Structure 1
Amino acid sequence: MKFALVTGGSRGLGRAICLQLARENQYHILLNYHSNDSAAGEVQKEIEASGLRCELLKFDVSDPDAVGATMEEWKKKNPDAVIEVLVNNAGMTKDGLFIWTNQKAWDQVIKTSLDGFYQVTQSVLKEMLQKRYGRIINMVSLSGLKGNPGQVNYSAAKGAVIAATKALAQEIGKRKVTVNAVAPGFIHSDMTAEFDESELKKLIPLNRFGEAEEVANLVSFLASDKSSYITGEVININGGLYS
């Protein structure tokens, strides 16, 4: 039985990615989430209504003990299951000018994106290498490419994951495991709900914010055999918005 593991999969981009990987790629889903039980349950119901499995894994991606224990327990219960796809989507923002950024706001953002990438990827990579097949897709951001004022911590976290994507892709390409990153611009989601869309869309050549489903379509492609000769890439999906 083939699974895709999506971190931060209960809402927003994560939710759209879970649904699309089930619908388009016919993967059973391992949905990781941190706290929102009801939102995770709704995604689970929607996927299972289509005849596929969706298992909920509640843990903090930056906590090595929680990641290790949860993943080991799941593997023991599902010895014949294979995790072919990992989408490192979990992330958080604590925006503010750098001079006012305290240690907690710095640590939380860095740990969720960067330590989360490390902990969860470590938990599935050995099996991918043994099977000589895998797709690792890291959700990054326009902020990690060009930087964003008020997001020094977030830009640092996503920039680090971009660099890690390129390095890991070179390490494991011979094992037919690809590693790519997806860098969304302004996408309708909880994270952009407070943004001034009417002003910001003037900066975007396509003159609109993107939809979560559009990002999920790109992830679905990278998770498929159609992307087998693409690795180490950062693919922008931002309506043409560049620095």
Structure 2
Amino acid sequence: MKSLFSVAGKTVLITGGSRGIGAMLAEGFVRSGATVFISARKVGELEDCCARLAKLGDCRSLIADLSTTAGVQALVDAVAQHTDTLDVLINNAGASWGAPLDQFPESGWDKVMNLNLKSLFFLSQQLLPLLRRAARPEAYASIINISSVYALMHSPLNTYSYSASKAAVIALTRQLAADLQADHIKVNAIAPGYFPSAMTAPLDEQAMVAEIPAGRMGRLEDIAGTAIYLASTASDYMTGRTLALDGGILASR
């Protein structure tokens, strides 16, 4: 039981790991003894976050712009320069776009879909050789996709491409889970509710909290603890599932 939830010694890649939920995930895994690679496209934020986390454990930064296929391949190449196995891939990088329905632009659709869905698929695909090398029948490799509570409910924010992309992430999670089971790679998703991040910063915090039965925003322990469960052997019999991490929002609807 002592090792059941352990991620010590595992190699983890977290995209969009320099701020918000990504930084929370990174800190949780670093503190738990994993070797953590975080990627982001903004150099300053990435280096600052990595420097902070490196004081707590093994954290390394990889600059990457995942909005293009070339950027995805560049990250794959960078990871392969540091390790030939990958125990955990957390697809967290994402973007949002809000506009009224009648005015929603194609650019806002394509930008969000490319980063939230297309890059997630092709990064997972290209990293399969490293995940397969790490996977064992007694200790599965893990892909964790970060979806959103807005994939499961109406969004009042007019974020049409965001909600659609995150719902597609859930469907893709199920598809990948079934196809990769024989390789001892589990694939699950987390659908977070309101956590402090760049996306929620412009919103009214009091109004957000009023929607949450738990009476508070999500914390580092909430998201990191859930992801560590999905990355550890404790969850090796679960694949293709989406865990809503929302303080009870969906339960109250």
Superposed pair shares fold, TM > 0.5: yes
Structure 1 residue 98 displacement after superposition = 2.1
Alignment of 1:31-42 (within 5 A): 31-35=38-42, 37-42=43-48
1:143 aligns with 2:146: no
Q: Is the Cα contact below 8 Å between 1:3 and 1:81 reproduced in 2?
A: no
Are positions 1:214 and 2:222 aligned together? Answer: yes
> Cα distance 1:70–1:183, how it changes in 2: closer, same or farther (>3 A)?
closer
Show the counterpart of 1:195: 203
2:3 is matched with: none
User: Aligned-pair distance for 1:130?
Assistant: 4.2
Alpha-carbon distance, 1:74 to partner: 3.9
What is residue 167 of structure 1 aligned with on the other side?
175
TM (norm. structure 2) is: 0.88
* C-alpha deviation, 1:38, in angstroms: 2.2
The percentage of aligned residue pairs carrying the same residue is: 31
The list of structure 1 runs, each at least 4 consecutive aligned residues, that deviate by more than 4 angstroms after superposition, is none
Structure 1: runs of 5 or more not aligned: none
SS in 2 for 1:229: coil
Partner of 1:11: 19
State the alpha-carbon separation in 2 of the partners of residues 130 and 56 from structure 1. Answer: 22
**Offset from partner CA, 1:194-227 (integer Å, 9 cap, x none):** 2222223222211222224421221121111111
Counterparts of 1:174 and 1:215 in 2: how far apart (Å)?
28
TM-score (normalizing by structure 1): 0.91
3-state SS of 2:87 partner: strand
Aligned residue type for 1:88:
N
* 2:17/2:39 contact within 8 Å kept: yes
Distance 1:29 1:131, change over 3 A: closer
Contact 1:185 1:238 in 2 (8 A): yes
Q: After the TM superposition, which residues 67-146 of structure 1 pair with which residues of structure 2 at under 5 Å, given as runs?
A: 67-75=72-80, 77-78=81-82, 81-132=84-135, 133-146=140-153
Q: Is the 8 A contact 2:91 2:144 kept in 1?
A: yes
CA RMSD, 1 decimal: 1.7
CA deviations on 1:55-92 (whole Å, 9 max, x unpaired) are 222122131122213422442x33x5421100000011
Q: Distance in 2 between matches of 1:15 and 1:200?
A: 21
Q: Which runs of 5+ in 2 are unaligned?
A: 1-8
Residues 74, 233 of structure 1: alpha-carbon distance in 2 compared, 3 angstrom cutoff: closer
Query: Matched residue pairs, number?
Result: 238
